[in-house]
Structure formats: structure tokens, C-alpha cells
Copies of this chain bind each other. A is one copy, B any other.
Amino acid sequence: MSTKKVIGIDLGGTTAKFAILTVDGEIQQKWSIETNILDEGTHIVPDIIASINHHLDLYDLTADDFIGIGMGTPGSVDRAEGTVIGAYNLNWKTLQPIRQQIEEGTGIRFALDNDANVAALGERWKGAGENNPDVIFITLGTGVGGGIIMENMLLHGVAGCAGEIGHITVDPEGFACTCGKVGCLETVSSATGVVRVARHLAEEFAGESQLKANLDDGQAVTSKDVFELAAKGDVFALMVVDKVCFYLGLACGNLGNTLNPSSIVLGGGVSAAGEFLRSRVEKYFRQFTFPQVNESTVIKLAELGNDAGVIGAGSLALQFQD
């Protein structure tokens, strides 16, 4: 049994979160730093290296105490080369040789993958996925992303796009998406998507509703407002939530019909609506799956919150284990 540890890093546009974990995925130390995206993001990797080395000193640890470092990052990841490109919220427009820099700066082996995939690995390993071989994770945030683990393998696809659940077409005549096509799940179930659905349905709704009144009044309405008003019984807000859950249930249903994972795990900001959301997604999931999938695949809520990223990132480093 190795008593060595791993380091997990969850790099985002606002903060970089760090954790030191055991090989069983238990977090022993956790900290974070601000992400400095100035000067085309050139400070980011040096800041990460300095922070790791500083904390190893602090905890009286050395590079030899670690199997490796794993990191989840925005942008397009080349896992074989250990590079990232096109992470616009980090100001990384050109190719970033992350692995080379971090391995040189810390003396510890390094692996990386994209942030949604890494969160999926975390939820599958230590969260709602219960370490099952087949788990799908969907993150409902500003955008909609995801990661797919099947037969104990994270799926990437030929160009690294596997798991881009947000761009499943749920309505061939739906809203235009930033990706250039129409009717993507993201357009109707991200935080902004929920509000988009509300504004669209408001045009045809004539009854009594606080949500409708707020929209008509030109107030800033958030996805959280929609779910809160729905939970209070606002008829129009319930219609909006039902429509959002119809689309999520359709997408989850087709993921189930195609991949039959043991669970499809809903995470991200929108999933803060909790059981209120989950039960409604499940209703449509059941409608859109055939019997054997209906009986074997379940819809769950994520359990790790913000820790999913660092835990999943840490698991990437286990590939370096002897």
C-alpha cells in the first residue's frame, strides 16, 4: 500500500482550488488562490506552482510524498501533450504548455483534463456515483457541461468533445445556441436558459403570477427566482420549471437509452433546486426510457458541491501509481 498522496487542482476563471488527498480520495488539506488572468494569463501557472511549493513547505512535505498532480481546466485540453488552448475566461488564447511548466516547477508528475470531465470523475468516485463503472455527470451552471464515465473509463471521443451534454439537441426548432446550432439543452436548462424559457413562455401566459409580473415589469430575474417562486406554488413558474425538466428528462432519457449508466448525476448551480428539480427530471426521464433502462438507471443529485473538481482532479494523478 502506497502512503503517498495526490494533489488535485480545480482551475477556474475566478479561483484555483487545491487539495491534498489520500489515494482513497479523502481530502487532507484544502486551499485556494485567486486566478490572475492579466497579461494573457501568464501569471496563472507560476502562481499555481508557487502555491503548491509554499503549501508543501507549510505541511513539511516534499515532491517525493506525492504520486502526482491532477488538474481540471477550462479550454481545449490535449491530454497527450499536457497543453491547453482557447480557455477564454483565463485569457489563454495561445497554446499553454501546462504539464511541462508544472512538472518542472514542482518536480511532481502532472496530468490534466477539462473541468467538466474532472468534476464528473469526482462525483463518480466519492459522490453520488458511488464509484460505479458507468456514471454520467451533468453540470447545470452558466452553461451546461458534463462528463461520461463508462466501463471505468472517462470518455473523450476523437476530438475530446465526448460529454458535451449541453449541446444535445432537445428541440430541433428551439432557441439559437452560442455554438451555432439550434435547440441545444444549454439554451433551455442553464441558469440563463431557465430565464430564457420563462421569458418565452411569458409571452403566452395570461394568468396570475408573481414571476410573470416581475418579467413584465422588466426586473432582473434569475434561475434561482424561478425555482423559488415555483416552490411557493406560482403557477407560471411551475410551468417554466416543468418545461425545463421536460428538456432535461428528454436529454437524460436518451443518455440512458444509449449508455444505460447506473446513475445520471445533476450538479451545478441550477441543481441547488434539489429534490424539487430532480423529481421532475426523473418524471420525464421515466417517460423517455425503455423498461430495462427505466429499472436500472437512476437520476441523482450531486453530493460533493465545489469539492467535486479537486477530488476528480486528484484521481487523474492515480494513473502514475506504481
Contact = CB atoms under 8 A, between A and B. Distances in A.
A181 B287 contact: yes
A288 B165 CA distance: 13
Interface in A153-184: 153, 155-165, 167-169, 172, 177, 179-181, 184
Interface residues of A, number: 47
A150 B155 contact: yes
A162 B291 contact: no
Interface stretch (A39-47, A109-117, A256-264): A256-264
Interface stretch (A25-33, A54-62, A89-97, A247-255): A247-255
Most chain B beta carbons < 10 A, residue from A134, A160, A165, A292: A292
A64 interface: no
A151 interface: yes
Contacts of A259: 148, 155, 157, 162
A23 interface: no
A159 B255 contact: no
A169 B253 contact: yes
Contacts of A179: 290-291
B255 A162 contact: no
B169 A260 contact: no
B161 A292 contact: yes
A257 B168 contact: yes
Given A158-B134, A258-B164, A180 B296 contact: no
Contacts of A287: 181
Interface string A129-167: 000111000000000000010110101111111111101
A254 B252 CA distance: 12
A297 interface: yes
The A interface is mostly helix, strand or loop, or mixed, namely: loop
Given A288-B172, A291-B180, A261 B158 contact: yes
5 A-B pairs closest in CB distance = A157-B260, A159-B296, A161-B260, A179-B290, A158-B262
A293 interface: yes
A278 to B, nearest CB: 19
Nearest to A246: B172
A171 to B, nearest CB: 10
26 contacts: A150-B150, A150-B155, A150-B157, A151-B156, A155-B259, A157-B259, A157-B260, A157-B293, A157-B296, A158-B297, A159-B293, A159-B297, A160-B260, A160-B292, A161-B257, A161-B290, A161-B293, A162-B259, A162-B260, A163-B258, A164-B260, A168-B254, A169-B250, A172-B288, A180-B291, A181-B287
A258 B255 contact: yes
A189 interface: no
A160 B260 CA distance: 7
